[in-house]
Structure 1
Amino acid sequence: MPAELSVGLAEPAHQHGIGVVAPFDFALDRELWRWVPEDVSLYLTRLPFFTTPVTVEMAVACGDRRAVRRATRDVLTPEPAVVAYACTSGSFVDGAAGEEVLRRTMVGAGAPAACTTSGALIDALRVLGVSRLAIATPYVEPVTRRLVGYLAEHDVRTVSCEGLGLLGNIWRVTYAEIVEIVRTVDADDAEALFISCTNVPSYDLIEPLEMALGKPVLTANQVTMWAALRAMGRVAVGGGRLLRAGVPHLEPGAA
């Protein structure tokens, strides 16, 4: 490099990293980036493609241990501080035991710490002291029912739930559709509301919905990035009561 070009050039800041294992149809990479500080990078990889529509069978396929192990190893080269499994249905479809297996699989593949979307949801509910939840999903009814069962295993009661019944193209759900289903599913006895699926856009909706409903609103991408950054001792960028709650640093491998 010519001497005159090097004058005044500062070295780039050291980037801490989060490895992200996402489903093959995940289309909201930019939304994940919005949650992270400028000195944190995301290293994303996709799970194998399936022709199955968004059903229980597809969720089970997304949680296949061999695929998750391989995807985890794919993102380890840049040395992320944590690996996040960013799929809600794939991490709740086999219940609490299945979610734990996913985390153990990622740590066993070499991840220094690991979290899943559904595990992050449970941690977020505990931080907020929530045990009665309303849930809005894009799923068909059998998939939504698996989420209700997963929450029950963690002593969280679903007081109301509603699904859009989509079998694909979930990333095309609009903010207007999300607001409508949230209005439908909210209940007086729900202490908080959860919008499921990492392929549902939600970043700009959380604070307006919390103001309108008067209660915490959690979303799949929000809790995933919150948990991953929390494992690094960092705080997510964005709004919502969860991000304003004081939370301790997690031990490696916890979610």
Structure 2
Amino acid sequence: MKRVVRGPEPQVSVGIVAPYDFNRDRELWRWVPESVSLFISRTAEVSGADNLGTVSALGEASYVARPTREVCAVGAQVVVYACTSCSFVGGARGEAALRQAMLDHGAPQALTTSGAAVDALRAVKAGRVATVHPYEEPVGRRLRRYLGDAGFDVVANTALGLPVRDVLSASYDQVADLVRAGDRPEADALFVSCTALPSYDLIAPLEEELGKPIVTANQATVWAALRAIGLSATGEGQTLLGL
């Protein structure tokens, strides 16, 4: 008897433009259903005098051009720039310019992590937000300003306290401690900024512990990208994904 072997189900393609040093590929994959493939392309390397200089360089629209073309060449139906600080450092105007650049280079739809975070915080009905992040002070101030300009009352803006060079190796324990330290009773929700910070397994238990929604950069990135093409992200017990 001839054995029938089922092939893979048809795939929906999502393009991720990531900073040159992004190392959380596997975390992004955990939010996607089996019908989705992520195509990840990284920007060229940049060097800045400090944290603000680096993210400002990566916030230039020219840096998303080549990676956008690469993911579109393999069929990406939506493209998202997976860098929070790079997409908020120039304010709303800078974020819009990045999306336009991706559209100009072939993206059928274009998003950024900071734009996705705004949509996610609105989805969980957060008016007052406590933010936690790993940035140096000038970049942290721009995060507060970006969210404030988007209509949120930022009640606290707490930094991780690690040197920027150590952020890529941040542990779950460090992120969990940061979230707890950054929470405020008056905050409707917490936002964990920076796609370099791991968060997948922390979201649901910390939401239960603190009694409020937690939106993270990587979670919002995948949620928004899939939402743009009519699909849902996967993550048991995560408030944003249960809406």
TM-score tier by shorter-chain length is: over 0.9
- 1:242 matched residue in structure 2: 240
Cα distance change of structure 1 residues 138 and 53 upon mapping to structure 2, 3 Å threshold: farther
Provide the C-alpha distance between the structure 1 equivalents of 2:122 and 2:180, rounded to a whole number of angstroms: 24
Match of 1:195 in 2: 192
The match for 1:151 is 147
Structure 1 counterpart of 2:16: 20
Could you tell me how far apart the structure 2 residues matched to 1:172 and 1:53 are? Answer: 21
Q: 1:33 to 1:53 in 2, by over 3 A?
A: farther
Instruction: Report the Cα offset of residue 10 of structure 1.
Output: 2.5
Between the aligned partners of 1:233 and 1:201, the Cα distance in structure 2 is 26
What is the CA distance between 1:11 and its match in structure 2? 3.1
Say if 2:74 is the partner of 1:75.
no
Report what 1:226 is aligned to.
Answer: 223
Structure-2 residue corresponding to 1:135: 131
Instruction: Determine what percentage of the aligned residue pairs are the same residue.
Output: 47
Alignment of 1:150-189 (within 5 A): 150-165=146-161, 166-189=163-186
Cα distance, 1:53 vs structure 2? 6.4
CA separation in 1, counterparts of 2:226 and 2:86? Answer: 21
CA RMSD, 1 decimal: 1.4
Please give the alpha-carbon distance, in whole angstroms, between the structure 2 residues aligned to 1:102 and 1:54.
22
> Deviation digits for residues 133-178 of structure 1, max 9, x if unmatched?
0011011111111100000111111101111243223121111111
Tell me what 1:115 maps to. Answer: 111
Rounded Cα–Cα distance in structure 1 between residues aligned with 2:114 and 2:25: 19
CA pair 53-22 structure 1, distance change in 2 beyond 3 A: farther
1:226 is displaced (CA, Å) by 0.1
1:49 maps to 45
Matched, 1:39 2:35: yes
Displacement after TM superposition at 1:52 (Å): 2.9
Task: Give the equivalent residue in structure 2 for 1:98.
Answer: 94
Deviating 4+ runs (over 4 angstroms): none
> 1:53/1:38 Cα in 2 relative to 1: closer, same or farther (>3 Å)?
farther
SS of structure 2 residue aligned to 1:97: helix
1-structure distance, mates of 2:106, 2:229: 16
- Alpha-carbon offset, residue 68 of structure 1: 0.8
SS at match of 1:204: helix
Structure 1's unaligned 5+ residue stretches are 246-255
Counterpart Cα distance in 2 of 1:43 and 1:147: 27
The one-letter amino acid of 2:87's match is S
Aligned to 1:10: 6
Is contact 1:53-1:167 (8 Å) kept?
no
Partners of 1:72 and 1:63 in 2: CA distance: 14
SS in 1 for 2:86: helix
- One-letter code aligned to 2:155: V
* Contiguous gaps of at least 5 residues in structure 2: none
Amino acid at match of 2:240: L
Would you tell me which structure has more helix in proportion to its own residues? Answer: 2
Q: TM-score, normalised to structure 2's length?
A: 0.95
Cα distance change of structure 1 residues 168 and 53 upon mapping to structure 2, 3 Å threshold: farther
